[in-house]
């Protein structure tokens, strides 16, 4: 009777298209029942109990009942967390929130020491992680790369570490632990935000690349991720690579595009071959925490507030950097153990990876801004008081002034017009942010013409509706509105009174 009730529930859930948790994060077909993806894993990564829309954990919320495979005779095998199936699925309509029985959503506390894996036979295998075990914490060289220049330097640092740590052959491959993080979306039916950080780790060096701060994927990092001779390993690594390609395939800064990572391997695939000889019925999807417990006898703590925090914050907190670096390094450590047990398991895992080896990408035209010949820097420091700006304008200012991108590149990355970007930059100048007037590449003649035009306008009329239009009509045709706005803001910042 219990099995029949379960089958009826599964059939109902499938027909209704049960695909989302109550807080809107999409579930995946390989997720344990009642669990949702870690903010930094896209299917196959760390799973945590479903949380409510208010951020609370393990309440009476709708959870994902994942279908693992079709068993013999066409029966659907699923993993459930309770034998109580007395209530059915409520509500209808694809993609809506559904309320399952309370017993189905009664998960262990998010801070508990229980890690869960789903076997290929559809049964839930729970592993108790001893919280008294030594806590994993990366204590090597930890680098936070938040600008393009810092990313370039960090990539060179990792390449040097790879040369010291591996020869690139089958017995001693060049390997980096790989992981991604992005901000959790709590809006139902809304796609998750783009990847915010990419973290790579060798045995002694870990780098957290803050790519959302850079506005795109730095070319050297894209090249490292696409290097077939460097193996990238992690739990849910292929899912991370999929999302990274979807978010940044055409957003490579000074590199090759479209971008696609290569030689990416999921640790669960390596573990299946190394520990079970790839025997049918032994495949398991384990969290990184479980693998660390079983392979290293260490406790990889998962702080809920950090994991679900704002990974687009500028800059990241030290706690966030440590969390991300430790995750990538933990993946590297687990691979070391698995590879020592079965070196040939790596090649077999690479052969089945959807991000194995392939053809190189085509060249990209997106370049960093280079200073013009004979250009004299004209920096203006940040004002004592800075006015608030919308996030889009702050981002454009950061990409232009901090990362040195051209306005055209920012416009392509952000999907807006270049004139809009320059107008945003003018607003940032007026708000009190630091800038260098030389970066706008306005000729001396154009600056003089705009300054003279402003001087001809009575101070009381500056900034009024129609004043910019009147200025535009009085100036040469090639001078655009953004140039007028930039000079207006610059003159106001460098004079005691408004221009004129």
* pLDDT tens digits for range 249-274: 889 999 887 888 999 999 999 999 99
Tell me what pLDDT residue 464 has: 59
Q: What is the pLDDT of residue 459?
A: 65
pLDDT band with cut points at 50, 70 and 90 for residue 229: very high
For residues 392 and 428, what is the distance between their CA atoms, to the nearest angstrom?
11
Window from 117-121, 232-236, 275-279, 378-382 with minimum mean pLDDT: 117-121
Domains 141-352 and 391-495 share a fold: no
Provide the pLDDT for residue 187: 76
**How confident is residue 170, by pLDDT bands cut at 50, 70 and 90?**
low
Q: Classify domain 391-495 by CATH architecture.
A: Orthogonal Bundle (1.10)
Quickly state the pLDDT bin for 381 (edges 50, 70, 90): very high
Mean pLDDT of 229-234: 95
Interval 440-496: pLDDT, tens: 888 889 999 999 988 887 766 655 555 778 888 888 888 988 999 999 999 999 885
Between 423 and 120, where is the model more confident?
Answer: 423
The token pair at 104 is: 């189905």
User: Which of residues 261 and 166 earns the better pLDDT score?
Assistant: 261
Tens of pLDDT, residue by residue over 119-137, are 444 334 445 666 788 899 9
Identify the sign of the CA torsion 300, 301, 306, 308.
positive
Please determine, for residue 413, whether its predicted confidence score (pLDDT) is greater than 80. no
At 387 the pLDDT is: 94
DSSP 3-state of 176: strand
How large is the average pLDDT for residues 92-107? 36
CATH architecture assignment, domain 141-352: 2-Layer Sandwich (3.30)
Question: What would the pLDDT profile of 306-348 be if each residue is shown by its tens digit?
Answer: 999 999 999 999 999 999 999 999 999 999 999 999 988 888 8
- At residue 198, the 3 state secondary structure works out as strand
Kindly tell me if the per-residue pLDDT of 388 is higher than 90: yes
Q: Where are the alpha helices (DSSP H) in 211-313?
A: 211-214, 219-226, 237-248, 267-276, 288-296, 304-307
Q: Are 113 and 287 in contact (CB under 8 A)?
A: no
Q: Do the Cβ atoms of 51 and 57 come closer than 8 Å?
A: yes
Average pLDDT over residues 66-71: 33
CB 196 within 8 A of CB 320: no
What are the domain boundaries of the chain?
141-352, 391-495
- Measured in whole angstroms, how far is the alpha carbon of residue 500 from the centre of its chain? 47
pLDDT score at 185: 78
Nearest to 180 by CA among 331, 387, 386, 1: 331
Q: Is the pLDDT of residue 100 over 80?
A: no
- Residue 441: other Cβ atoms inside 10 A: 14
Residue carrying the six token digits 């229980």: 114
What's the pLDDT score for residue 279? 81
Greatest Cα pair distance, the chain, in angstroms, is: 89
pLDDT above 50: residue 97: no
* In the predicted structure, residue 85 carries a pLDDT above the cut 80: no
The pLDDT score that the predictor gives to residue 463 is 57
* In the predicted structure, residue 411 carries a pLDDT above the cut 90: no
**1-17 confidence digits (pLDDT tens):** 555 655 555 454 444 44
Q: Which residues contact 480 (CB under 8 A, 6 or more apart)?
A: 419, 422
Q: Is the pTM of this model over 0.85?
A: no
Residue 145 in this model has a pLDDT that exceeds 50? yes
């Amino acid at each position: 009777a219990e099995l029949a009730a379960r089958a009826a529930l599964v059939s109902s859930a499938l027909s209704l298209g049960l695909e989302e948790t109550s807080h809107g994060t999409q579930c995946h077909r390989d997720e344990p029942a009642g669990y949702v993806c870690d903010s930094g894993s896209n299917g196959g990564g760390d799973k945590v109990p479903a949380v409510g829309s208010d951020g609370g954990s393990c309440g009476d919320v709708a959870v994902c009942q994942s279908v693992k495979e079709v068993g013999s005779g066409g029966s659907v095998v699923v993993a459930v967390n309770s034998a109580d199936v007395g209530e059915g699925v409520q509500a209808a309509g694809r993609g809506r929130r559904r309320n399952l029985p309370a017993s189905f959503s009664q998960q262990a506390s998010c801070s508990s020491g229980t890690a869960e894996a789903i076997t290929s036979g559809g049964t839930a295998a729970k592993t108790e992680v001893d919280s008294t075990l030594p806590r994993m914490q990366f204590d090597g060289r930890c680098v936070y790369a938040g600008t393009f220049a810092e990313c370039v330097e960090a990539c060179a640092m990792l390449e040097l570490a790879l040369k010291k740590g591996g020869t690139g052959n089958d017995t001693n491959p060049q390997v980096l632990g790989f992981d991604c993080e992005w901000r959790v979306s709590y809006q139902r039916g809304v796609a998750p935000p783009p990847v915010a950080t990419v973290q790579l780790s060798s045995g002694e060096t870990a780098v957290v690349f803050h790519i959302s701060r850079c506005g795109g994927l730095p070319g050297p990092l894209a090249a490292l991720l696409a290097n077939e001779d460097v193996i990238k390993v992690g739990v849910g690594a292929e899912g991370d690579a999929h999302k990274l390609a979807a978010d940044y395939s055409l957003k490579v800064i000074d590199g090759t595009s479209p971008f696609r990572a290569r030689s990416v391997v999921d640790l669960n695939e390596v573990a299946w071959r190394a520990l079970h000889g790839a025997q049918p019925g032994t495949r398991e999807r384990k969290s990184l925490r479980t693998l660390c417990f079983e392979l290293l006898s260490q406790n990889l703590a998962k702080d809920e507030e950090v994991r679900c925090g704002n990974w687009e914050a500028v800059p990241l907190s030290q706690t966030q950097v440590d969390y991300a670096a430790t995750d990538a390094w933990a993946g590297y450590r687990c691979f070391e153990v698995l590879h020592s047990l079965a070196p040939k398991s790596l090649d077999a895992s690479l052969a089945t990876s959807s991000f194995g080896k392939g053809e190189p990408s085509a060249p990209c035209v997106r370049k960093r801004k280079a200073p013009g010949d004979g250009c004299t820097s004209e920096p203006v420091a940040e004002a004592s008081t800075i006015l608030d700006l919308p996030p889009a304008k702050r981002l454009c200012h950061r990409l232009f002034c901090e990362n040195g991108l051209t306005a055209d590149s920012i416009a392509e990355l952000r999907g807006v017009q270049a004139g809009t970007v320059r107008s945003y930059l003018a607003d940032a100048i007026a708000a009190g942010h630091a800038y260098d007037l030389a970066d706008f590449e306005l000729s001396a003649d154009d600056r003089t013409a705009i300054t003279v035009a402003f001087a001809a306008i009575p101070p009381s009329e500056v900034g009024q509706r129609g004043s910019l239009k009147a200025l535009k009509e009085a100036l040469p045709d090639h001078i655009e509105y953004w140039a007028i706005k930039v000079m207006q803001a610059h003159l106001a910042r460098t004079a005691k009174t408004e221009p004129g």
